Structure 1
Amino acid sequence: MTIKIISGAPNQETRNAELFKEALLKSEPRLDHVDITADIICGLPIPGRQIDLLLLYHDARSKERQLRTPNGAPIHSFVLVVEVKNHSPDLIQFEGPTVHVRYDLLWHDATDQCDQQMYALKRYQSSNYKGPHRREATFVQRAIWLARADASAFDGTPAQSSVPVHFADLSWEKLVSSFQLNRKEVRTLVDQSGDPKYHDMVSLRASLLHKVRPTLLDRRRLNALTKTRFDAEKTQYIQNLGKGLLRLKGRAGTGKTFSLLQIAIHLAQKGQRTEVITYNHGLIADISRALRLLQEQDPTIDPLPVLKTRYKFIQDAFKQTFGHRAERYAIEKIPVIEDRENFRVKALLDPEVFFKERSDICPIALRKVQLPDYVLIDEGQDWKEDQRDFMFSLMGPERIIVADGIDQFVGQDRCDWYPGNIPKNWDQKLQQSVRTRAATCQTVSEIASELGIEWDVKTSKDIPGGRFTVLVEPNARRAVQRGLEILEADQRAAGEVKAIDQLICLPSNAVGGPNYANLFDAATDEAERDSWRGFDEDDRRIYPVRDGQLRAVRYESCRGMEGWTTVCLGMDLFYDQRVAEPLVDEVSLQAALKQTMKDKYSDAMFAERLEQAEREYAFHWLMIPLTRSIDHLVVHLHDENSKLGQILNAVSVRCLDQIEWVRPEAPSN
């Protein structure tokens, strides 16, 4: 079988694949053999990254008859990521172990780009299936192909590069000469033996080419995201984009993140490049799924918004400005992530000074950062002032759009995005609940009232219905099972709702008590249920691709996410932990109180204000998971007499029939 090219619509990647195939067959005609299967997949969109070219290769013949590397190692199978660059030699630079290519006036790290594609592919494989359906991730070879550059134009190749570099004279022999071996052969796939643990050619191809199918909720989101007619207020600030900073502020569940995405897609439809900076990888995975479905629905929306965490955005800017040596220094010499981020921000605020002071780790000259047309910042309330000032200096306030969660801050200080006399577009307050059905939303408002929180979220009459259930179950293992049973029952009752449309929130191990993540894994494995484990480092970087995947996240990572039914397990334990360990900056709080009260300040006054701040911290954290459901919210209590149990009981007494209580069944005699 000859080499097969798998591609969508013809594009540059397809042309690259054709040239790649031609180079391999011309240099090694024996590749055209009935027992050799070779697929070149073009522009493969996997969660978090698009791979230029991916070559899957398998030779089913005996080891004696297989093709070999120049050193004589038999080539049974391999998976190869190829980063293709069609730049002329004057637009290519070798800096230490890395290859840089220039687009317009900016240099890009092609070596890192290839590495990131490889890591994304391995993460995708690792998280693709759990339980009895899981297969081990394959080993991935890497290569950079400078398709229009002759090796003679350069003084050698990158020193100690982790990624082999090939030039215009690419051949099969040169390609495989740099392959890493597995027990003296090139082998990463199994033959079609039915071994469920490892990938063969067929299973790997099927896994990579799996098509994501939108659920009913997906389709509703996509229709709303691509809506082209806005209300009068939104029309006004959309027309004023680029004239000043736009801030969208609102409480949990009022659609701040959704509004950011709407604006980003509107800008993409106008050909504008945007980057959306959000809080965590779990939310990025959730949004990435919606964007992939959007791209399949309407390929003309281009370029799609790029999603990054704040940490990654700052890291990219630092690396582009100061080069790979400075970035390596930051990683190797500054182990604490927060300190590393502060180090980068300080350097970026005054790059000329840093360049002079740290010339030992900087390149010959400062490089410009590749900037999008607009940056849209989610959860802006949690940024620090120096991080905000860096964004102002990099982008200018006019090209920044911020979503500010009024009471959703998880840090010690709230960031003011309107300091001084910066140009302002609009300060839009969002007050309408756009997620939660009316009855559930009303119950959440009653809980806020019981807590003494100012809660001005308006219930939407356009989305009637909703349920609020309190599940009391002291046995954590049984509570997880009951939660899964409720989700299954709601899914059956709703008809078109799929498992992927549901959400489970779990407390972290820091709260003490049962390990709910382990119990969730055990329960889903026992039931042979598919899942997306947003509490896992690898899983949360990859969006769920199958509609049977039940999503589970930690409470700390649930902001911006939603579920048709949302089950909050061990919520009283989570609330108790937030009450016991409030994150409040006492020094700043005391200084602000002294400045406000002046001669009237007293230590007793500060103690009272500190107690109030600590209580508010826990209250506001509680409201985040309480606003994640669309139709049905299920709150699990380990102990009905806990602090949260008492609050819910008080609301239940005051508001009859709004909360359904499900208590443990009494043992039969």
Structure 2
Amino acid sequence: MEFNFLKINGTNAHLDYDTFKESVIEKLNETCKEAEVIVLNNFPVSVSSQTSIDFIVLLNIPKKEKSWYRVETNDDRFYVKNQIIAVSIINEYYNSKITVEGGLVDIDGAFIDFEDNANKMKWGLTNYLSSNCGMERKHITVHPIIWIKNKSHSYYSKNIIIDNQFTYDKVEDVIKLNHYFKWPGYSNWFDSDDLFEVQIRQIFERASKDSRDGYITKKKIDRIQNKLDDASSKAYDNIGEKLVEVNGKAGTGKSSDILKWMLRLSLEGRKGVFLTYNHVLVYDIASQIQSFTNRLSPEERKEKQPTTTYTIHGYFYGVAKKLGVLLLLTEQRINELTATLDSRWVEIQQYFNAIRLKEYDISLAKLLMYVQSKWTTSEGVRREAILFIQYLQESLKSLPNKEETAKQFKFYRNDKVQKLGNLESSNVFLKDYHKVLERILQAASNLDAFLSDMDVVNKYDLLENVMALNPQILEKDGSGKINFEKLKTRYKKGLGGFRAGRIAYIDEAQDCHPLERDILYSIFGSNNIVIANGGKEQLIRYAQLCDWHVSRNQNIDFYRYTKKRKSYRMKPAIAALANHIADWYEIDLNIEPLDTDDHGNVFIDYSFTSDKQVEAIKRLKTIGERQGCTNYESLLLLTAAESGSNNGIEIDEDTSVAVNEYDNIVKDNNKTKGEWVLIDKAKVAIGDLVFWNTTGNVDKRKLSPPGALSVRSIYYESCRGIEAWSVMCFNLDEFFEQKTLENDADNYLLETLFDQLTPEKRREMYAATWVLMAITRSMENCYIQFQNPNSSLSKAILSFKEQYPQYVTNLF
């Protein structure tokens, strides 16, 4: 066999390339005339904030006569054409005791869930290849593998290899367990070997460009790698001993400090999880982690412990889902719809059996026509049958035999029920968030009461899938009840998995709810928590500051590190603008700007012409480029979202189904928003600009994290914690007015200033804190576009222009 084996972008210290190469040859040699394997090491781009890709294996078997490789399972077989295998290495459990209980991986007495990470890696790389590398999404199949290195245990499942060595026979065993095992990595490659070579180059070249560090990122990574000063070092030394708190104003570097500590400790053997408040900042943090990792030597990479990033809502959603809290709170509705689906199947099965007797091997197209026009039944049953036939048509052309049809319906049903669970879980999480938090806290701090109150011992069928319960957990008397002591052990090990030896770093901790604080203390312990804490002027989510020094009537031992008021990013013009708006609305801010002769600029625009706005985008992009910034660093575009959003709660879940008036679980096509027309016009006018746009009807689950080539265009609510050389604030006065009308505006600082503010003043202060959040994203330039020159905020900005004319300049 002619075999080419190529390593790109260095090597990975964990992988024995010779052993892996020989294992591939051993599998392919007997029937293949030619094959090629490319190992793309140290993939430089972050495609997911929860896990990183350590290497990608690209296998290609060219189309040759009498040259093939076939893989067989118990009931199927397929011919391998090519494969895309993404691998993430977990090395911290090399010496751990690992056992597997019914598919759950028990590591040192805690159940660790790797399935979510595998899914994130699969779809993250799929999104990247389709969005950035010119590949058609529908033809891409990524096989994700979490390789857990362990010196004594060997095991594999749908996405996991536990072993000391990584070999192709184990890869094949994993892939065969997945329903998509027969699909090629990229089907178009089989028709053209040249296309394989061209697109491999495109992937590597684009990844190299997207991972390029510009001026701002280089400064951040340099700062992370620099020696700690005395004050920071004292705080750093207290991590793991007691709560460590970093206090400071906006822009003073609180978030940078806790990120710096997390990354430095990861090289000293401590794992970390960074929790913050929006997906955009999660991507930004993940990008910085990747840039930091890219600078490490192979040996440093080998020793570095995992550091992951979540939105705080995404983290709690995961906890609530895996503890069964969400299903327990939505049980009645799910049982109702599942029972309806099951009863309809009885009628559908009878009809299909009758048709099969009359017309053996009937085509699904003809069967569909019969259901639509000849079957007299209820509308709900008819629609369910149509949905099931459409499901079958994805892989079949004719109606299979009775047993296979029943098997396919089981797959169809499970998919529907899982998505229904996601939908109902998301609904209860969004609409009753604080009740969900109460139940999580009860499970974490008073497990017996939780299990009793929620009657969990009688909920085996409900929780079987989401908690991966095994029949061995049931009582032996045939009652169907779960053994109480075994159930407690299952929950305790599950809670241990959320902790998993990590330190939690909480951004914007002043804006947490006390329930969130208490849950985090219960899971991690106060000594394993580090918080970045701002003042009341940085409150966005809640009306009152969260007190981290007390939890459930217990005082918490803490070390406080207070930052100076000096900003790490804002030039004098931006700091002056923020301070002026704060003073106008009587908010205590007083940010000190950077010490620099270059004061920065504020651009004020009352025009509504998109041509002028596009030109402004182009000029500010050029200003960033001259500074050495990437597109990502150069420019940030902000606009007001439509009113009536989801209360600022962001979760990353598949809620792509809806329940129609006939109680059918169907694809949801009705979630629409207004599009930001300016983005489309700018794409056309500025050919070399890529927009990472989360406004309008974008499916965020299909978005790859933004790379160096991308300019972010997002809603104001999502800008917290991020920054850019120039920030463009569109419709800023409209955004201000929207915020004054929110219900939360009437509760702003209600306890501390309850008798000192009029309702109008309170609402304006609340809205002004949101505006300050947007303004302080700027480093050098802030472009502000207004709708109404007579609005409250416009008057404040015009006052700034009169007081600081040297800072307000024309862009054109």
With structure 1 as the length reference, what TM-score do the two structures score?
0.81
User: Among 513, 521, 532, which residue is 1:384 paired with?
Assistant: 513
Cα deviation for residue 76 of structure 1 reads: 2.9
Structure 2 SS opposite 1:335: helix
User: Among 544, 548, 556, which residue is 1:417 paired with?
Assistant: 548
Report the CA distance shift for 1:483/1:9 in structure 2 as closer, same or farther (over 3 A): same
User: Among 92, 114, 123, which residue is 1:119 paired with?
Assistant: 123
User: Among 313, 336, 340, which residue is 2:315 paired with?
Assistant: 313
Corresponding residue number in structure 2 for 1:519: 678
Cα deviation for residue 282 of structure 1 reads: 0.8
Does residue 498 in structure 1 map to residue 630 in structure 2? Answer: yes
Structure 1 SS opposite 2:745: coil
Q: 2 CA distance for matches of 1:540 and 1:501?
A: 23
Corresponding residue number in structure 1 for 2:798: 649
Report the CA distance shift for 1:178/1:233 in structure 2 as closer, same or farther (over 3 A): closer
Corresponding residue number in structure 2 for 1:576: 737
Q: 1 CA distance for matches of 2:308 and 2:788?
A: 43
What is the number of equivalent residue pairs in this alignment? 633
Report the CA distance shift for 1:247/1:462 in structure 2 as closer, same or farther (over 3 A): farther
Matches within 5 A, 1:592-607: 592=751
Cα deviation 1:447-483 (Å, max 9, x = unaligned): 32223322222233257421111122123x2354033
Deviates more, 1:337-346 or 1:524-533: 337-346
Residue identity opposite 1:226 in structure 2: Q
Q: 2 CA distance for matches of 1:94 and 1:262?
A: 37
Matches within 5 A, 1:196-595: 200-204=199-203, 206-207=205-206, 212-230=211-229, 232-299=230-297, 300=300, 302-303=304-305, 305-317=307-319, 331=422, 333-336=424-427, 337-338=429-430, 339=432, 341-342=436-437, 343-356=439-452, 357-359=455-457, 360=459, 361=463, 364=486, 365=489, 366-367=492-493, 368-369=496-497, 370-406=499-535, 407-414=537-544, 415-419=546-550, 421-426=555-560, 428-462=562-596, 464-475=598-609, 477-491=610-624, 494-510=626-642, 517-528=676-687, 529-535=689-695, 536=698, 538=700, 542-546=704-708, 548-584=709-745, 586=747, 592=751
Report the CA distance shift for 1:163/1:270 in structure 2 as closer, same or farther (over 3 A): closer
Corresponding residue number in structure 1 for 2:774: 625
Cα deviation for residue 626 of structure 1 reads: 0.8
Corresponding residue number in structure 1 for 2:81: 76
Cα deviation for residue 555 of structure 1 reads: 1.0
Residue identity opposite 1:353 in structure 2: A
Structure 1 SS opposite 2:226: coil
With structure 2 as the length reference, what TM-score do the two structures score?
0.68
Corresponding residue number in structure 2 for 1:91: 98
Cα deviation 1:579-633 (Å, max 9, x = unaligned): 23252365x977x48xx98xxxxxxx69x54333212110100101111111111
Residues 443, 450 of structure 2: 8 Å contact kept: yes
Structure 1 SS opposite 2:3: coil
Residue identity opposite 2:7 in structure 1: I
Q: 1 CA distance for matches of 2:89 and 2:630?
A: 39
Cα deviation for residue 204 of structure 1 reads: 4.3
Cα deviation for residue 501 of structure 1 reads: 1.5
Q: 2 CA distance for matches of 1:32 and 1:107?
A: 41
Q: 2 CA distance for matches of 1:553 and 1:67?
A: 47
Cα deviation for residue 383 of structure 1 reads: 1.4
Q: 2 CA distance for matches of 1:185 and 1:460?
A: 54
Corresponding residue number in structure 2 for 1:601: none
Residue identity opposite 2:693 in structure 1: R
Q: 2 CA distance for matches of 1:214 and 1:32?
A: 42
Cα deviation for residue 101 of structure 1 reads: 3.0
Does residue 660 in structure 1 map to residue 809 in structure 2? Answer: yes
Corresponding residue number in structure 2 for 1:667: none
Structure 1 runs not aligned, ≥5 long: 598-604, 664-669
Corresponding residue number in structure 1 for 2:383: none
Corresponding residue number in structure 2 for 1:67: 69
Report the CA distance shift for 1:100/1:525 in structure 2 as closer, same or farther (over 3 A): farther
Q: 1 CA distance for matches of 2:179 and 2:213?
A: 39
Report the CA distance shift for 1:445/1:506 in structure 2 as closer, same or farther (over 3 A): same
Residue identity opposite 2:107 in structure 1: Y
Q: 2 CA distance for matches of 1:43 and 1:324?
A: 37
Q: 2 CA distance for matches of 1:126 and 1:310?
A: 28
Residue identity opposite 2:792 in structure 1: K
Does residue 27 in structure 1 map to residue 27 in structure 2? Answer: yes
Residues 501, 564 of structure 1: 8 Å contact kept: yes
Corresponding residue number in structure 1 for 2:3: 2
Structure 2 SS opposite 1:287: helix
Residue identity opposite 2:760 in structure 1: E
Corresponding residue number in structure 2 for 1:666: none
Residue identity opposite 2:425 in structure 1: I
Residues 80, 182 of structure 2: 8 Å contact kept: no
Residues 532, 539 of structure 1: 8 Å contact kept: no
Q: 2 CA distance for matches of 1:194 and 1:285?
A: 35
Q: 2 CA distance for matches of 1:530 and 1:378?
A: 29
Report the CA distance shift for 1:411/1:226 in structure 2 as closer, same or farther (over 3 A): same
Residues 442, 449 of structure 2: 8 Å contact kept: no
Corresponding residue number in structure 2 for 1:638: 787
Q: 2 CA distance for matches of 1:22 and 1:277?
A: 42
Corresponding residue number in structure 2 for 1:602: none
Deviates more, 1:452-461 or 1:514-523: 514-523
Residues 275, 308 of structure 1: 8 Å contact kept: yes
Deviates more, 1:558-567 or 1:295-304: 295-304
The sequence identity of aligned pairs, in percent, is: 18
Q: 2 CA distance for matches of 1:412 and 1:274?
A: 26
Cα deviation for residue 652 of structure 1 reads: 1.6
Residues 275, 305 of structure 1: 8 Å contact kept: yes
Deviates more, 1:553-562 or 1:644-653: 644-653
Deviates more, 1:610-619 or 1:199-208: 199-208
Corresponding residue number in structure 1 for 2:132: 128
Report the CA distance shift for 1:532/1:430 in structure 2 as closer, same or farther (over 3 A): farther
Structure 1 SS opposite 2:80: coil
Residues 190, 200 of structure 1: 8 Å contact kept: no
Cα deviation 1:481-506 (Å, max 9, x = unaligned): 033123134135x3423322223232
Matches within 5 A, 1:6-17: 6=7, 11=12, 13-15=14-16
Structure 1 SS opposite 2:555: coil
Structure 2 runs not aligned, ≥5 long: 330-417, 470-485, 645-672
Cα deviation for residue 392 of structure 1 reads: 1.7
Structure 1 SS opposite 2:520: helix
Q: 1 CA distance for matches of 2:101 and 2:198?
A: 36
Residue identity opposite 1:559 in structure 2: R
